[in-house]
Amino acid sequence: MREDSILDYYREGPGRSWVKYASCKGQTELFYSKVAYTELSIPENETPQTSKPLIIKVETNSQRITRERAAKYICNQCDVRIDCKNYAIDTVQQDGIWGGLTPRELDYIRFDKES
Question: Which H or E run includes 56?
Answer: strand 54-57
Beta pairing class for 54-57 and 35-38: antiparallel
User: How do the pLDDT tens digits run along the chain, 115 residues long?
Assistant: 444 454 455 555 556 678 888 999 888 888 988 765 555 555 555 555 555 555 666 788 898 899 999 999 999 999 999 999 999 998 899 889 999 999 999 999 988 877 6
Task: Indicate the number of domains in the chain.
Answer: 1
Domain range for 92 is: 3-31+60-114
Entry pTM:
0.68
With respect to residue 90, please indicate whether it lies within any of the assigned structural domains.
Answer: yes
With respect to residue 68, please indicate whether it lies within any of the assigned structural domains.
Answer: yes
With respect to residue 95, please indicate whether it lies within any of the assigned structural domains.
Answer: yes
Q: What is the pLDDT of residue 56?
A: 64
Between CA 71 and CA 87 the distance in angstroms is 17
Q: What is the pLDDT of residue 1?
A: 45
With respect to residue 24, please indicate whether it lies within any of the assigned structural domains.
Answer: yes
With respect to residue 10, please indicate whether it lies within any of the assigned structural domains.
Answer: yes
With respect to residue 43, please indicate whether it lies within any of the assigned structural domains.
Answer: no
Between CA 51 and CA 48 the distance in angstroms is 7
With respect to residue 9, please indicate whether it lies within any of the assigned structural domains.
Answer: yes
Q: For residue 86, give Cα distances in angstroms to 8, 61, 99, 101.
A: 20, 27, 8, 11
